[in-house]
Amino acid sequence: MRVEELIKRITKIEYGDKMLNKGINGLKKGEFVLIYDDDKRESETDMVIGAEFVTGSQVATMRQDGGGLICTCIHPNFCDKIGLPFMNDIMEVAKDKFPILGKLTPNDIPYDERSSFSLWVNNRKTFTGITDNDRALTISSVAKLCKEGRFDQFGTEFRSPGHVSLLRGADGLLKRRKGHTELSLSLAEIVGIAPVTVVCEMMDGERKESRSIESAENYAKEHDLAFLDGNKIIDEYLKLF
């Protein structure tokens, strides 16, 4: 699709759906957007932000208000250029030497056919790698490397194992898989920012479960954030791409 057509399409989205418009503008400005996937999938709301905007303050917010795993999602095209595999593929290759890996194959995920997990990394300039500032440096550095096309420098800039989980988006994104990884990366493509995002599940400390959709919506209202239905993102993405 030509840039002019894409701009026209996004303009239609802005005038047609106020909440999606709020999410588009929020993500573009480096704000959090909350995305609920689907009742028939994880039934979870994730805090989502563009990786290029992440600072220690945002990591602290995800840790305190989200409480789930803070992961960095990377567009499959970037992953191919870096050479980032799925963890499943690493386990498959290594299982002959380490048989336990074959027994741990995640072939029974109740809501999906494949995990998005890839490697865990730290930026080489971090100390322990786990502090809010250390994780922010690792996350934002991944986005910067991808934006600048310095894919051959990934091993120079990062070490593994580390404290930031990298998730590889499925080829074709929402055409292939409809998880938060693909939802966030697809929204980034719609917005026009680098398709490297950060997601963190919203947990409920009292219920010891994921945060209810009502509670997550209330959080969005309290903090003036967009709360997006994943199915709307899927519909708009498939129209655009």
Residue 130 in tokens: 């786990």
* Percent above pLDDT 90 for the chain: 80
Catalytic residue among 21, 133, 157, 163: 163
- Residue 7 confidence (pLDDT): 44
Alpha-carbon distances of 30 from 27, 91, 145, 226, 230, rounded to whole Å: 5, 35, 18, 12, 19
- The CATH number of residue 74's host domain is 3.90.870.10
Among candidate residues 31, 36, 42, 71, the one labeled active-site is: 71
Length of the chain: 241
Domain residue limits at 137:
3-240
47 beta partners: 34, 200
Q: Which residues contact 41 (CB under 8 A, 6 or more apart)?
A: 111, 112, 178, 179
pLDDT of residue 165: 98
Q: Which of 71, 66, 110 is nearest to 87 (CA)?
A: 71
Residue-level pLDDT at 122: 98
Residue 127 has pLDDT above 90, yes or no: yes
One-character DSSP codes across 59-115 = HHHIIIIIEEEEEEEE-HHHHHHHTPPPHHHHHHHHTTTSTHHHHT-----TT-SS-
* Residue 14 DSSP class: H
Catalytic residue status for 71:
yes
pLDDT tens track for 38-88: 777 778 999 999 999 999 999 999 999 999 999 999 999 999 999 999 999
Tell me if residue 237 falls in helix, strand or coil.
helix
- Rounded to two decimals, the pTM is 0.91
Among candidate residues 77, 80, 89, 111, the one labeled active-site is: 111
Does the active-site annotation cover 122?
Answer: yes
Question: Is 111 in the active site?
Answer: yes
Give residue 137's pLDDT band: very low, low, confident or very high (50, 70, 90): very high
Pairing label, strands 196-204, 67-74? antiparallel
Annotated catalytic, 46? yes
* Number of independent structural domains in the chain: 1
Per-residue confidence (pLDDT) for residue 78, from 0 to 100: 98
Among residues 37, 42, 44, 46, the one annotated as catalytic is: 46
- The single-letter DSSP state of residue 2 is -
> What is the C-alpha separation between 27 and 83, in angstroms, rounded?
27
Set 31, 36, 75, 122: catalytic member: 122
Question: 3-class DSSP state for residue 32?
Answer: coil
Query: What pLDDT, on the 0 to 100 scale, is given for residue 235?
Result: 92
**219 carries an active-site annotation:** no
